[in-house]
């Protein structure tokens, strides 16, 4: 029993040290970098599980979404520290769970830091400005991306890109739609 407790305390101290090193506070949540799984995210950030429980996705869109992944790849750049990521990804997971779908192997998750600079080797060439960013590819070419705030619900907007009814940028972030990267004027 003592060795299990010592192991647990040592693991907790290492976790605190890693979180401190990457700049995470307890309130903001952990900063996970690189390729991730849903399970890794849920263990490190339990509030994402709560967000999934509270999500109310469009189940009709989710049913269509399940069959739309064939031949496509979706790369999701996310911040485990980011409230927009915490809203959009659990909603997608809930949509797939509610229809009894397996998690598509065509979805890859990549955790990034707050500056969206690390992991640099995985970010290269993606022009990442905001998270989450869902990049949809077919035949190795980008057909579109959902950036930060999904205007219709992530399951609906992702379905539109995967089915080909939409292309390019899908976002509710007006400054991106206007083509500017600066602050919005009021």
Report the half-sphere exposure of 52 (CA within 13 A, side-chain side).
18
Tell me the domain boundaries of the chain.
25-177
Peptide bond into 98 cis (omega under 30): no
SS3 101: coil
Q: What is the pLDDT of residues 144-173, one digit of tens each?
A: 999 999 999 999 999 999 999 999 999 998
Is 138 in contact with 128 (CB distance < 8 Å)?
no
Q: How confident is the model at residue 105 (pLDDT cuts 50, 70, 90)?
A: confident
pLDDT at 58 exceeding the cut of 50: yes
Helix (H) or strand (E) holding 75: strand 72-78
Structure-token pair, residue 88? 């959009």
Peptide bond into 37 cis (omega under 30): no
Q: How confident is the model at residue 69 (pLDDT cuts 50, 70, 90)?
A: confident
Average pLDDT, the chain: 82
Domain topology for 25-177: Glutaredoxin (3.40.30)
Question: Between 83-98 and 46-54, two packed helices, what is the crossing angle to 10 degrees?
Answer: 60
Closest alpha carbon to 77 in 40, 123, 38: 123
| Terminal-to-terminal C-alpha distance of the chain | 61
Cite the beta strand spans of 12-167 per DSSP E. 34-36, 72-78, 107-111, 133-138, 141-147
What Å distances lie between residue 69 and 34, 144, 178, CA to CA? Answer: 23, 14, 30
Q: How confident is the model at residue 28 (pLDDT cuts 50, 70, 90)?
A: low
DSSP secondary-structure letter at 36?
A: E
Q: How confident is the model at residue 102 (pLDDT cuts 50, 70, 90)?
A: confident
pLDDT at 64 exceeding the cut of 60: yes
């Amino acid at each position: 029993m003592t060795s299990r407790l010592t192991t647990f305390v040592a693991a907790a101290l290492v976790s605190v040290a890693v979180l401190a090193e990457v700049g995470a506070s307890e309130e903001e949540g952990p900063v996970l970098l690189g390729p991730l799984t849903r399970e890794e995210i849920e263990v490190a950030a339990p509030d994402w599980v709560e967000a999934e429980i509270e999500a109310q996705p469009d189940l009709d869109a989710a049913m269509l979404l399940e069959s739309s992944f064939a031949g496509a790849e979706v790369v999701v750049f996310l911040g485990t520290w980011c409230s927009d990521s915490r809203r959009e990804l659990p909603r997608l997971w809930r949509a797939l769970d509610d229809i009894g779908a397996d998690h598509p192997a065509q979805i890859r998750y990549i955790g990034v830091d707050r500056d969206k600079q690390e992991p640099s080797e995985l970010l290269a060439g993606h022009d990442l400005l905001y998270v989450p960013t869902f990049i949809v590819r077919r035949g190795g070419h980008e057909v579109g991306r959902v950036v930060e705030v999904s205007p219709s619900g992530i399951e609906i907007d992702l379905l539109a890109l995967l089915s080909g009814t939409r292309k390019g940028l899908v976002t509710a972030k007006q400054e991106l739609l206007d083509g500017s990267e600066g602050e919005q004027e009021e």
